[in-house]
Amino acid sequence: MAVVRRPLVAIAGSGKRGRSEGGCPCVPVALVSADGTCLLGCGVIDVTETVEPLTGSFFARPVLEVARDLIGCTFLVDGVGGRIVETEAYRGDDPASHSYRGKTPRNAVMFGPPGYLYVYFTMGMHYCVNIVCQREGEAAAALLRALEPEFGLERMTERRRTSDPHQLCSGPAKLAQALGITREGYNGVSACAAPVQVLARRGGAAPRIVAAPRIGISTATDKLWRFVDADSAFLSRRLPQAASQRKR
């Protein structure tokens, strides 16, 4: 007799999650609507647990706290996304931040209010997505560097043109492409309302979070403002061995 492992599911909108009666075949974690129907088409879900979507107050805190606390949360855009495994923090007094030299049309969203997406275009070809943090006017944001792909894998695969799950969201530009994020479509959009959702960490063991230097910058390289799930196989770059033993 075969044993079927029933997957954990998240409910879009209401923030509920549960287990399917027959095992949802769509993805490892199935999205369902408020009426208990799987958004990916497998049927009705029996909801047994709840998980809260994050609100603006979560992001209206010091960016170093928010960037760390986002590890293990779920980030979704139009039902596509997964568990956040890597972030970086940037703020107004940080020479590596876009906001360091003041407000411009490009970085205006970064100055608040908190809880909105700041999307920028870089290197003439890539988009990167951040979530604005701290009080309005303080110009801080958490860069989403990597996700563990869980929802909408077919759409991610089409957008990224690869079926390798480790190449779908393992870097900020890959992440934005996999989730269909552009500056034109999402800069200034709320991270706390459809089509964007950020769900609180699921139950189970808390991630082993490690702080390390940020990647791809030439100033303030000594700051340990990159936060990662040290046990994740979906990081944008592996941790140095010494850093992987450290927990923050």
Looking at the predicted structure, is the pLDDT value of residue 51 above 80?
A: no
CATH number for region 56-244: 3.10.300.10
Domain ranges in the chain?
A: 8-50, 56-244
**Structure-token pair, residue 99:** 């906001």
Q: How far apart are CA 43 and CA 17, in angstroms?
A: 15
* Model confidence band, residue 244 (pLDDT cutoffs 50, 70, 90): low
Contact 47, 18 (CB under 8 A): yes
Looking at the predicted structure, is the pLDDT value of residue 42 above 90?
A: no
For the purposes of burial, counting CB atoms within 10 Å of the CB of 236, is it exposed (0-12), middle (13-18) or buried (19 or more)?
buried
Q: What are the pLDDT digits (tens) for 85-135?
A: 999 999 999 999 999 999 999 999 999 999 999 999 998 889 999 999 999
Contact 15, 52 (CB under 8 A): yes
Query: Please, which residues have CB within 8 angstroms of residue 206's CB and are 6 or more apart in sequence?
Result: 72
Contact 213, 227 (CB under 8 A): no
pLDDT of 232: 97
Over pLDDT 90: what percentage of the chain?
72
Nearest to 199 by CA among 41, 109, 68, 77: 77
- 74-83, 101-110, 186-195, 239-248: range with lowest mean pLDDT: 239-248
pLDDT of 52: 81
**Structure-token pair, residue 50:** 């709840």
pLDDT of 9: 42
DSSP string for 25-48: -S-SSEEE-TTSBBTTSS-BEEEE
Nearest to 228 by CA among 96, 89, 129: 89
pLDDT of 203: 80
* Model confidence band, residue 13 (pLDDT cutoffs 50, 70, 90): very low
pLDDT of 224: 97
What does the mean pLDDT of the chain come to? 84
pTM as predicted: 0.82
Looking at the predicted structure, is the pLDDT value of residue 16 above 90?
A: no
Q: How far apart are CA 127 and CA 182, in angstroms?
A: 6
Region 14-23 average pLDDT = 42
DSSP, res 152:
-
pLDDT of 86: 98
- 14-18, 202-206, 231-235: range with lowest mean pLDDT: 14-18
Distances from the Cα of 152 to the Cα of 50, 167, 224, angstroms: 21, 15, 32
